[in-house]
Structure 1
Amino acid sequence: MENLTETTDHRHRRIILFPLPYQGHLNPMLQLANILYSKGFSITILHTNFNAPKTSNYPHFTFKSVLDNAPQDERYTNIASQGLGSFDRIFLLNQYGADELREELEILLRDGQVSCLITDALWHFTQSVADSLNLPRLVLRTSSLFCFLLYASIPLFDDRGYFELSDNRVPELEEEVVEFPMLKVKDILKMGFKSKNDTVGECISSMVKQTKASSGIIWNSIKELEEPELEMMLHDFPVPSFLIPFPKHLTASSSSLLDQDRTFFPWLDLQPPNSVLYVSFGSVIQVEEKDFLEIAHGLVDSKQAFIWVVRPGFIKGSDWLEPLPDGFVGEMGRIVKWVPQQEVLAHNAIGAFWTHSGWNSTFESVCEGVPMICSPFWGDQPLNARYISEVTKVGVCLENGWEREAIASAIKRVMMDQEIRERAKVLKQKLDVSLIKGGSTYESLDSLAAYISSFPVMHR
């Protein structure tokens, strides 16, 4: 990974960053903060107490908790007991957070010279707050450009009646989406919308609208991966876009909300190159016990060595591995609760990644040239899975549920398919070239720093 050093002294310029409090959103925002710090900017992180980052890992940043500091507030009590997977918190804070955020920003503007605010795109209410303070707001979008373009097309999909289809209308569900022929109609349904006017649809619509109103968009991606999508974005959303592959600059280990197991590394170090399957379905996904057992049987039946991340709470109704018979895995695999994922993917023993196709995991795999088996659940995951399997062709989709025979077959195919492996290797090489002087990533990062420096410093 690139050794980041301070290149320009912007210490009199402060950037305020406001991540969404979920692992897949915290990681890229804190990686971005580190990158901007390395460019010489001072960094302040606003955060909720819910899923607060480990501030001791970032002594070079200033942290300030906002929005959920008064749990007795009746607006927040109905979500106080909700778990990691609940996005009700996002909807609620978008609805009620403006006044409190404005007060916090006014204090920060009085205390120091602020260049801009960078928020997660899903904090769409922050655009009106920034506008009221004449403070430039950039957004970090933690999904792909391809996914964002699809989110922007939700009104079109609604007009076409896609969201009204039911699971028993199989022929229609298997049809291609006319505007995005790499997708099937069932992928649109898996995004999780009932219509453009339901709670999720309205939130995404507001996110798209306020992203278009922002001063710029920062993407965890590269031009070489999504060039056609970048051209569409620049046409439809005429604000500056900056594509930066965060995993190639810094790891996300320090922002992990879960403790990371490293005890398996001595075992991994002894495995031959490209011989181990890495399996992880992210920080939020849950499965039924019967599906968990199908996954376990598929892994063992594949006869491939594996590292399997089973997060506590991953199996509905179980604390951890209670449904699995003792000794079932044997010596062919290791089951752990959480790992430093980027470090695992970069290990030469890893031959493939079986993933839920969240964008962070997908892009980290691309960055390390690791082929993928995609088992998407909802949201952007089905879209990422199709892009990987149908556009870049560096992975395959498992789309017919959890069947041990299909699982074992997919594992064997991806672990042994040299064409998929070669395509993944070539894509990684393109990414690596983009990092050197004159490359797209190098220039995008310099452009972002210069753009932020062009804003007049704000103080009150």
Structure 2
Amino acid sequence: MINQTQEPKIQHHVAVLAFPFGTHAAPLLSIVRRLAAAVPPNNTTVFSFFNTCHSNSSIFSSAAPNDNIKPYNVSDGVPEGYQFQGKPQEKIELFVKAAPQSFREAFDVAVRETGKEVTCLLTDAFFWFAADMAQEMRVPWLSFWTAGPTSLSAHLYTDLIRSTLTLPDANYGPPSNAKQKLEFIPGLSKVEVQDLPEGIVFGNLDSIFPSMLHQMGQVLPRATLVFINSFEELDTTITQDLKSKLKKFLNVGPLNLASPPPPSADVNGCIPWLEKQKASSVAYISFGSVMVPPPEELVAIAEALQGSGVPFIWSLRENSWTHLPKGFVEERAKKLQQGMVVSWAPQTEILSHGAVGVFVTHCGWNSLLESIEGGVPMICRPSFGDQRLNARMVQDGWEIGVGLEEGGGEVTFTRDAVLKSLDLVLNQERGKRMRERIKALNQLAKQAVGPKGSSADNFKTLFDDITSPPVQTHRHD
């Protein structure tokens, strides 16, 4: 007999589409794990996580299994017997060209295995084709932008930026008005043309990445909602403008504060070493997992550290140690006197330690958030993508750090520039004000993810959009 008073189980099958390059798939999995953990016992929501085999192996290997999240491998788009030609972003181009068909084929497998039709698309924002896919399937499209609000705004306004500015004759060099500020875009009045990511007004505008991001900016207003790993209070002007341009725009971060990951293994003894240092005295140096400054800049950093006597932890891949001055690693890392050079460091834990006074960074979005979470001002050396935009906002928008070239132009490390920046942040009154401002942002971030905070409320909205009926489903023939 069926208990007529019992609530029927609500069944949802969320197809999660990950971008398998850079630091995209891991934050998406992080938010999916949080969503899955919030599902009540009487709800049979399942999440099928579609990603390449290589990326799935990497991000699922260190994570605890979850009964309602299952990874599915999709093709990397590389044809059998293909000979790589050494072109920039060749792997990305092959993957993206094959992605719509690859994902559809994987959907069929997941539907057969789960017995549930796909009821929602949750995707990396890069996948502009998800707009048509969701429309064909008659399901909501929830899009995750893994970077910050400033860069998202720049991509949404690409057509306006291009029509307003004088573009270079060739598609590669920066425009003649590189120093012009984007005062015609809400919240971007401090941003200069030269700060924009490649592919908006300079770079090869017809290559895969610019084309992908341009199409993304055009179709994101069709998404049921767009959500990002940030908090509304960081930039209320941009937040309000994005809310006016998108059907629904949600800040649900910082994710590390909302759902703290387990502590990283401190294999090189960074934290015990920090315990012996004075408060706000240590420089932490790291440039992420993708780019490393050229050898001459690594030498400049080392010489500045030697000259300043500032205690430091420098996370640098071991294959780059050969570029450092002779004896630099041995003299410091092995004797643990002034500082340590390590091949890997627990960044979140280091930036949260009271001994750290400055973060020398490439200004990637995740690193920027971790600096705010730790209350540590930054010295920015951006390389590509959204990093220049982030650096501009750090220096001139939020005033929580400094760039190496305050007057603009080529941003490179020199011994004198690093010495000047270290002294400014660690010893001068301006550095003290930066520390006060970033600690205030730290408190706002904690409030945002706390009870009744803006990010907590936005996460509930995101969860409700995924798990609340009614849901129209697409039938697979």
Pick the aligned partner of 2:203 from 183, 194, 205: 194
Partner residue in 2 for 1:15: 14
CA distance in 2, matches of 1:225, 1:291: 31
What SS does structure 2 have at the residue aligned with 1:97?
Answer: helix
Matched-pair contact (CA < 8 Å) for 2:311–2:338: yes
Bigger Cα Rg: 2
CA distance in 2, matches of 1:370, 1:440: 23
What SS does structure 2 have at the residue aligned with 1:173?
Answer: coil
What SS does structure 2 have at the residue aligned with 1:244?
Answer: coil
Matched-pair contact (CA < 8 Å) for 1:158–1:195: no
Matched-pair contact (CA < 8 Å) for 1:196–1:205: no
Pick the aligned partner of 1:55 from 54, 60, 79: 60
Partner residue in 2 for 1:44: 48
CA distance in 1, matches of 2:143, 2:197: 26
Report the Cα offset of residue 191 of structure 1. Answer: 6.2
Pick the aligned partner of 2:80 from 51, 69, 73: 73
What SS does structure 1 have at the residue aligned with 2:49?
Answer: strand
CA distance in 1, matches of 2:206, 2:134: 26
In the alignment, structure 1 residue 326 sits paired with structure 2 residue 327: yes
Pairs within 5 Å for 1:150-299: 150-159=154-163, 160-164=165-169, 172-179=177-184, 180-188=188-196, 193-194=202-203, 196-251=205-260, 261-299=267-305
In the alignment, structure 1 residue 424 sits paired with structure 2 residue 438: yes
Amino acid at match of 2:258: H
Cα shift readout 1:295-340 (whole Å, capped 9, x = no counterpart): 211222232111111125xxxxxx2311221245522111112223
Amino acid at match of 1:92: L
CA distance in 1, matches of 2:316, 2:10: 42
Pick the aligned partner of 1:388 from 394, 397, 401: 394
The alpha-carbon distance between structure 1 residues 105 and 168, as it changes in their structure 2 partners (threshold 3 A), is closer
Cα shift readout 1:276-306 (whole Å, capped 9, x = no counterpart): 1111111111332112111211222232111
CA distance in 2, matches of 1:66, 1:168: 36
The alpha-carbon distance between structure 1 residues 168 and 17, as it changes in their structure 2 partners (threshold 3 A), is closer
Q: Report which stretch shifted further, 120-129 or 288-297.
A: 120-129
Matched-pair contact (CA < 8 Å) for 2:16–2:121: yes
What SS does structure 1 have at the residue aligned with 2:313?
Answer: strand
The alpha-carbon distance between structure 1 residues 170 and 131, as it changes in their structure 2 partners (threshold 3 A), is closer
Amino acid at match of 1:91: E
Partner residue in 2 for 1:406: 417
Partner residue in 2 for 1:149: 153
What SS does structure 1 have at the residue aligned with 2:232?
Answer: coil
The alpha-carbon distance between structure 1 residues 283 and 406, as it changes in their structure 2 partners (threshold 3 A), is same
Partner residue in 1 for 2:4: none
Cα shift readout 1:184-210 (whole Å, capped 9, x = no counterpart): 232237667436444432111112123
The alpha-carbon distance between structure 1 residues 80 and 446, as it changes in their structure 2 partners (threshold 3 A), is farther
CA distance in 2, matches of 1:215, 1:19: 18
Q: Report which stretch shifted further, 18-27 or 30-39.
A: 18-27
Report the Cα offset of residue 236 of structure 1. Answer: 1.7
What SS does structure 2 have at the residue aligned with 1:177?
Answer: coil
Cα shift readout 1:12-70 (whole Å, capped 9, x = no counterpart): 434332222234212311211221122125333211124333424231131111022x7
What SS does structure 1 have at the residue aligned with 2:153?
Answer: helix
Amino acid at match of 2:419: A
Q: What is the TM-score normalised by the length of structure 1?
A: 0.86
CA distance in 2, matches of 1:169, 1:34: 41
CA distance in 2, matches of 1:350, 1:197: 43
Matched-pair contact (CA < 8 Å) for 2:360–2:379: yes
What SS does structure 1 have at the residue aligned with 2:23?
Answer: helix
The alpha-carbon distance between structure 1 residues 18 and 339, as it changes in their structure 2 partners (threshold 3 A), is farther
The alpha-carbon distance between structure 1 residues 421 and 135, as it changes in their structure 2 partners (threshold 3 A), is same
Cα shift readout 1:360-392 (whole Å, capped 9, x = no counterpart): 111121122211111111110010111111111
CA distance in 1, matches of 2:197, 2:105: 40
Amino acid at match of 1:322: T
Q: Which runs of 5+ in 2 are unaligned?
A: 1-7, 40-44, 406-410
Q: Which runs of 5+ in 1 are unaligned?
A: 1-8, 313-318
What SS does structure 2 have at the residue aligned with 1:123?
Answer: coil
CA distance in 2, matches of 1:91, 1:71: 10
Number of matched pairs: 437
In the alignment, structure 1 residue 29 sits paired with structure 2 residue 28: yes
What SS does structure 1 have at the residue aligned with 2:231?
Answer: coil
Report the Cα offset of residue 96 of structure 1. Answer: 2.2
The alpha-carbon distance between structure 1 residues 43 and 167, as it changes in their structure 2 partners (threshold 3 A), is closer
Report the Cα offset of residue 172 of structure 1. Answer: 4.0
Matched-pair contact (CA < 8 Å) for 1:365–1:372: yes
Matched-pair contact (CA < 8 Å) for 2:266–2:345: yes
Amino acid at match of 2:375: G
The structure whose RCO (Cα within 8 Å, separation 6+) is larger is 1
In the alignment, structure 1 residue 377 sits paired with structure 2 residue 383: yes
The alpha-carbon distance between structure 1 residues 436 and 72, as it changes in their structure 2 partners (threshold 3 A), is closer
What SS does structure 1 have at the residue aligned with 2:12?
Answer: strand
What SS does structure 2 have at the residue aligned with 1:291?
Answer: helix
CA distance in 2, matches of 1:240, 1:321: 43
Q: Report which stretch shifted further, 44-53 or 357-366.
A: 44-53
CA distance in 2, matches of 1:263, 1:115: 47
CA distance in 2, matches of 1:271, 1:11: 55
CA distance in 1, matches of 2:292, 2:98: 30
Report the Cα offset of residue 182 of structure 1. Answer: 0.5
Report the Cα offset of residue 250 of structure 1. Answer: 3.3
Matched-pair contact (CA < 8 Å) for 1:251–1:342: no
The alpha-carbon distance between structure 1 residues 289 and 184, as it changes in their structure 2 partners (threshold 3 A), is same
The alpha-carbon distance between structure 1 residues 51 and 311, as it changes in their structure 2 partners (threshold 3 A), is farther
Matched-pair contact (CA < 8 Å) for 2:270–2:345: no
